[in-house]
Amino acid sequence: MVAISESVYHYKSRRSPDTVLRQRIKEIAATRMRYGYQRIHVLLRREGWQVNHKKVHRIYKEEGLNLRSKRPRRHVAAAHRMERPELSTIDQCWSMDFVADNLFDGSRIRALTVVDNFSRECMLIHVDRSIRGEHVVGIMAHMQRCHDRCPDRIQVDNGSEFISKVLDKWAYENGVTLDFSRPGKPTDNPFIESFNGSFRDECLNSHWFLSLDDAREKIESWREEYNTFRPHSSLKDLTPIEFRDRHLEAGNLDL
């Protein structure tokens, strides 16, 4: 006979069933496959769920959602980067890079990604079959006309499109400094590297593109979600647009 307290023997858990919460976590994970439990927790809180991150993590693990493949961590040496001026406002520095992918029939497409390093806002993702230096200039000029915005500095790698004379001429005429990464050092441009990783994980790897127009439509939809819905941990779980707008509002109050 085991000597235990009668209250222990007759104990019934008072923990409320997690059925509805568990279902909602599975729904979010199914539609946003690259979101970890921390970002899912932010979305739940945004929806009004009064739940702490430990409970979300427990359910996340119990449902096997943590078994989804993750990007490997970079080597510690990647943390040693060139020092750049500290950013304090939008349009101080943008980053540009290219990402390649395929249509369903194997045809190659390229995407030019442009990100504001301060707010993490994705300014543009231009998708085409090929993009040369003169196309980059046309894209930047179009953004100037439509959004009335132009950065002081743009971080780029040493690709042929970025070292072209036409882009150099455009930058000189518009007072923009082209800040080139060191050869073989992609971590000199960490903001665009991080963005492109999310772009590939959450969009390119999650869709079949039936045509160039289909790719443009789906990629633009993802860009809008990234800017206006997806919480960003480095922005205290705000979206890039929320962070940008709050920064501008605070600046106007200081005037």
pLDDT in tens, 219-250: 999 999 999 999 998 899 999 999 999 999 98
Question: What average pLDDT does the segment 55-80 reach?
Answer: 64
Indicate whether 136 pLDDT > 80: yes
Question: What average pLDDT does the segment 86-104 reach?
Answer: 94
Average of per-residue pLDDT values in the chain = 85
Residue 67's pLDDT band, with cuts at 50, 70 and 90, is low
- What is the predicted pLDDT for the residue at 12? 56
Angle 217-218-219 from CA coordinates, rounded to 5°: 95
- What is the predicted pLDDT for the residue at 75? 43
Residue 38's pLDDT band, with cuts at 50, 70 and 90, is confident
**Residue for token digits 């020092």?**
83
Contacts of 7 (CB under 8 A, 6+ apart): none
Indicate whether 96 pLDDT > 50: yes
Give the separation between CA 124 and CA 207, rounded to whole angstroms: 19
Residue 79's pLDDT band, with cuts at 50, 70 and 90, is very low
Q: Are 253 and 246 in contact (CB under 8 A)?
A: no
Burial degree of 32 (CB within 10 A; 0-12, 13-18, 19+): middle
Indicate whether 16 pLDDT > 80: no
Q: Are 188 and 82 in contact (CB under 8 A)?
A: yes
More confident residue, 75 or 66: 66
pLDDT in tens, 138-182: 999 998 888 889 999 999 998 899 988 899 999 999 999 999 888
More confident residue, 80 or 47: 47
Q: Are 247 and 90 in contact (CB under 8 A)?
A: yes
Indicate whether 91 pLDDT > 90: yes
Indicate whether 48 pLDDT > 90: no
Residue 15's pLDDT band, with cuts at 50, 70 and 90, is low
Cα separation values, 203 from 65, 172, 220, Å: 19, 34, 10
Give the separation between CA 131 and CA 148, rounded to whole angstroms: 23
Half-sphere exposure of 237 (CA within 13 A, CB side): 10
pLDDT in tens, 102-124: 999 999 999 999 999 999 999 99
More confident residue, 219 or 51: 219
The amino acid sitting at 149 is R
Percent of the chain with pLDDT strictly greater than 90: 53
